[in-house]
Chain A
Amino acid sequence: MALSLMEGNEAIVRGAISAGCRFFAGYPITPATTIFNAMLKLLPPLGGVCLQGEDEIASIGCCLGASMAGLKAMTATSGPGISLYSEHISFAIGSEIPIVIVDVQRLGPSTGSATRGADGDINFLRWGNSGGLPAVVLAPVDVKDCFLLTMQAFNLAEKLRCPVFIASNKEIGMTRESIDVDAIKKPEIIERAAPPPHEPFLPFAVPPGGQVPYFLPIGDKRLVRQTSSTHGADGYITTDPDEISKTLQRLKTKLLSTVDRYSFHEAHLKENADTLLLTYGVTARAALDVFKKQQKLGKPISLLILKTLWPVPENLIREKAAQAKRVVVVEMNLGQYVREIERILPGKKIDFCGQMDGRLITPSRISEVVDHA
């Protein structure tokens, strides 16, 4: 066995490239800058393009253009950049443009603390688009997840034609860790589905029984129309309420009805454990320590680590929480995802353990809340 030392940000880049990413545009921002640095080192020699946009709006705009030209595209930033991405996130959702967006979260609000970690953008990533339609958000726990979930993010973006977020955190992105790269089992690569040849192409027409339109790149022999305006199957503006409703409902359903197939998670369930610890992101590492300690103490608890946060994997959460009387939700913010858990598990006692001060939540802090039943 040979191990490498890698930070989360570099693992995201390597995962992206393994998934076929050939276009990156970004704008420097701590703690996401090393994604840009690594892309610049790795992409051009592969014939890919890595650009530094004049700002965040341009960076994601370039990615949308490149994605529409048929390249797998990614951008990366932190909270202040996600704020600027917002209009283009809405565009990518509404106009079904595949893109992977990395948010290496730092302590907010606003410019906050550039070098301090947080999971403060979790609801922002879901709700920060005009129209309020869902997006996919995956949350890595460690360097290996950064690699694997980025590959999955590309697969989902291509398959579902939507933006997929990686909700990383300074504490994962800039923390180096040992990783056995050769032992990683890579998922199969998924590409955008092309329409049957020699048929007229409607850019937003959905194949029979499907929920996602076929994709042709701008530049193909058959003409492609893309628009940020409310459109029909032909890509032209429409004001027909029935057609609008059908499309927007589809944008919602194509994600919500399929989330069971990509509900990435790690579950450690103990029989007779009344308490389920539920968390995500870097905090899961401390939670895993607590889980092991409780086991040793003969006071076992269960642990559910969510790696798909949005759409909320409701079936998974209900199933894994079925035995628990009490669910302790731990987050590196002042209470965001816990609202979803309260919504999904109305019969259970929900306790919250949150912290927002730039420091990691310690295992001892989680233990205190777990013990304080």
Chain B
Amino acid sequence: MPSLLNTSRPPVFCPGCAHDRILHALDKTFQNMGLSGHQTVIVSDIGCSGLFDTFFHTHALHGLHGRALTYATGLKMARPELHVIVTMGDGGLGIGGAHLLAACRRNLDITLLILNNFNFGMTGGQFSATTPAEAQVGSDFLNRMEKPLDICRVTSSAGAAYVVRSSAYQKDLAQRIESAVRFEGFAVLDIWGVCPGRYTKRNRLTPQTIDKSLAKLPPADGPVAENTRKEYGRHYRELAADRKQAAPLLKIEAIFDPPDPVQQEVILLGNAGQRIITAGEILCFAGLTAGLRVTQKNEYNITVMRGHSISEIILSPHEIGYTGIEKPTVILALSQEGVDRRVRIFNQLDSDTMIIKARGIDLPSCHARIHQVDFKKQRIKAVNWALAALAVLAKLNKVIHIEMLQSALESKFKGKTLAAALDLVREVEIDH
């Protein structure tokens, strides 16, 4: 196959730059594999490594510093047949650290070439995540306190299934890149090279010293046994194929007339664990059975099973505007925490508002009509108080009636849960 180098844009790097060798090795890989430009995309980011995409006659996506792996992930998930090659410098490695770790953990079939030349060449030789502490760099003394990152160890620890430590000057670099591209999974090549423009102006680094340094490090030459596993995209599609179609959207027909055809506003004041939000939803469903417009606005803590839980429901024969409630028709006061959370509302109430309150809860003084129910005496568990309060409401023929509630429960629950809910509604007494 012919070279995929871009004949209209011959590669230009500083004289002696290792990138030039890696570029030609990559082109040789493409030739050996018989790849065409349209089967391949080079994804790059900022810095000298970011010039790669322009020097090839392939698809190209050049983006922000350190983010190349994020674009590559989207591309590969959308087009699994594409060969996705990412080039990145040690600068992009540092900036995009989280993306590198995530790519290792995911194992999506992408080949990452890290063009590691130990500094930010393009901006003046500042230190990067791989700069040795003893190097002379463009950031004065700031690299001396920091330990350089061993890319191969980091990526292996993070789950990369294929890791290669290499010098840009190795004769078999093209073969090593080819093996990485052919590997089905995430493959990282940490390729060490010289940056004559910046780094070696003040530091001694040659192909020979690179070889010596590499020889001292634990080898990394391909598949990482403990990380061998299914490729992410293939695995994703397998698991996704097993997902069931979501249930069709629940639609509730209007079959009843509401007790009172005016706007009704209900606030449920309770606790997490009292199924307040579910009760609010059931109340909304009940409204829908009478063709009412409904809104439900909830407030709860970030904690589960602890803290207040509040639901505000509006049922109206007309389109609903404002979704807040300033003067409720009914308050269901089911926990002290819930009441305390909305303590401000009580002094605004008059006798138009009815409060259905569980016995044992202290209300602030107010002018609302209060209807007390002793749920404990009726041996109803706290978890069912909200539903029981809706049953009381329905039995008082206030806001909803009992058929609306029963029909709502039939929309919400099935089987044993439905039977238990209907039993509860039947048995609740409206005591006073």
Mark A residues whose CB is within 8 Å of B. 1-6, 14, 23, 25, 30, 41-42, 44-45, 47, 49, 51, 53-55, 57-58, 60-71, 73, 87-88, 91, 114-115, 171, 174-178, 181-182, 217-229, 235-237, 282, 285-286, 288-289, 292, 359-360, 362-364
Contact = CB atoms under 8 A, between A and B. Distances in A.
Nearest to B277: A176
A224 B281 CA distance: 50
Given A4-B249, A61-B63, A226-B62, A218 B82 contact: yes
Given A2-B253, A4-B252, A49-B78, A65 B60 contact: no
B137 interface: no
Interface of A is mostly: mixed
A174 B310 CA distance: 13
A288 B321 contact: yes
29 contacts: A1-B291, A3-B254, A3-B288, A5-B250, A5-B296, A25-B74, A45-B245, A47-B240, A49-B78, A54-B102, A57-B67, A61-B71, A61-B74, A62-B77, A69-B82, A87-B64, A175-B323, A176-B296, A177-B294, A177-B295, A177-B296, A219-B79, A221-B38, A224-B60, A225-B60, A226-B60, A226-B62, A226-B63, A236-B54
A219 B284 contact: no
Counting chain B CB atoms within 10 Å of each CB, which of A175, A223, A288, A362 scores highest? A223
A369 to B, nearest CB: 15
B74 A65 contact: yes
B70 interface: yes
B41 A171 contact: no
B345 interface: no
Nearest to B46: A228
B19 interface: no
Contact of B291 (A3, A4, A224, A282): A3
Contacts of B292: 178
B134 to A, nearest CB: 33
Counting chain B CB atoms within 10 Å of each CB, which of A23, A65, A289 scores highest? A65
Contact of B322 (A57, A88, A229, A289): A289
B324 A360 contact: yes
B255 to A, nearest CB: 10
B74 A23 contact: yes
B102 A65 contact: no
A114 B326 CA distance: 23
Given A44-B243, A285-B321, A359-B324, A218 B297 contact: no
Pairs A-B, 6 closest by C-beta atoms: A65-B74, A61-B70, A69-B78, A65-B71, A54-B102, A66-B74
A217 B41 CA distance: 11
A359 B253 CA distance: 33
B343 interface: no
B320 interface: yes
Contacts of B78: 23, 49, 65-66, 69-71
Contacts of A51: 73, 77
Nearest to A67: B74
Contacts of B300: 115
Contacts of B253: 1-2
Interface in B374-394: none
A289 B321 contact: yes
A22 B321 CA distance: 33
B293 interface: yes
B263 to A, nearest CB: 11
A294 to B, nearest CB: 13
B38 A54 contact: no
Nearest to A366: B322
Contacts of B74: 23, 25, 61-69, 73
A219 B71 CA distance: 14
B243 A175 contact: no
B75 A66 contact: yes
Given A3-B251, A3-B252, A218-B75, A235 B60 contact: yes
Nearest to A363: B322
A20 B102 CA distance: 28
Contacts of A226: 60-63
Contacts of A225: 53, 59-60
B86 to A, nearest CB: 11
Contacts of B223: none
A337 to B, nearest CB: 20
A181 B72 CA distance: 37
Given A69-B82, A364-B326, 14 more contacts: A3-B252, A5-B250, A60-B70, A62-B74, A63-B74, A64-B70, A171-B323, A178-B294, A181-B251, A219-B38, A226-B63, A282-B323, A285-B321, A285-B322
